[in-house]
Amino acid sequence: MEERVFNFRETGPGQWRWSFTFRDQTMACGEGFPSELSARKAAESFASGVGLALIDLIGHR
């Protein structure tokens, strides 16, 4: 079975949630998005921010 890092699910009518999981632990999540697309965009923004923070932490610009 393929394990996904980002997961998306509808938690109620018109309410979407994204979660970032690693080794079966939820590391971050966002809730209350009106569509799967907006949840995916929020997760993409989160991933981009984490990537930039890691680059800054390592010192490569």
Sketch the domain layout of the chain as residue ranges: 6-58
> Which pTM value belongs to this model?
0.79
Contact predicate 10/36, CB 8 Å: yes
Output the pLDDT for position 36. 97
Decide: helix, strand or coil at residue 33: strand
Contact predicate 43/8, CB 8 Å: yes
- Give the model confidence (pLDDT) of 10-60 as tens digits: 999 999 999 999 888 999 999 999 999 999 999 999 999 998 888 888 986
Residue 1's pLDDT band, with cuts at 50, 70 and 90, is: low
